[in-house]
Amino acid sequence: MITGLHHATFITSDLARSRAFYEGVLGLQADAKRPVMSFEGVWYEVGTDQQIHLMLLPDPEAGLQRPRHGGRDRHVALVVKELAWLMSRLDVANIRYSVSQSGRRALFCRDPDQNALEFIEVVA
């Protein structure tokens, strides 16, 4: 029986650049509990018992053409409290995004390694 999603992992070719996006733009904080591994990386807590992992490894899909709209590509969907806050942060960082084509309060963007991210606004 599956009871939840523990983490999603993305490969990065430039850990400092990716950290600038995930920490500087999205406001996440690195988890100091990441153990020493055979490759560099960082973990981020994104909720109770949920994480994003970044792995500094060669990209096996380098040069692959991704769809313009992240909703038509494999992606991870993250919950946000205020979509306007995120849009403002992406605008300041000059990061392109597109709104959900379904009409939901959601948007898609890509991280520096072209991984697609969906952000869905959920109001309590």
Domain membership of residue 54 (yes or no) is yes
Per-residue pLDDT of the chain (124 residues; tens, 9 = 90+): 877 889 999 999 999 999 999 999 999 999 999 999 999 999 999 988 899 999 999 988 888 888 888 888 889 999 999 999 999 999 999 999 999 888 899 999 999 999 999 999 998 7
The single-letter DSSP state of residue 26 is T
Domain membership of residue 2 (yes or no) is no
Count: domains in the chain: 1
Domain membership of residue 1 (yes or no) is no
CATH number at residue 33: 3.10.180.10
| Domain extent for 108 | 7-59+66-121
Whole-angstrom distance, CA of residue 80 vs CA of residue 121: 5
Whole-angstrom distance, CA of residue 62 vs CA of residue 34: 26
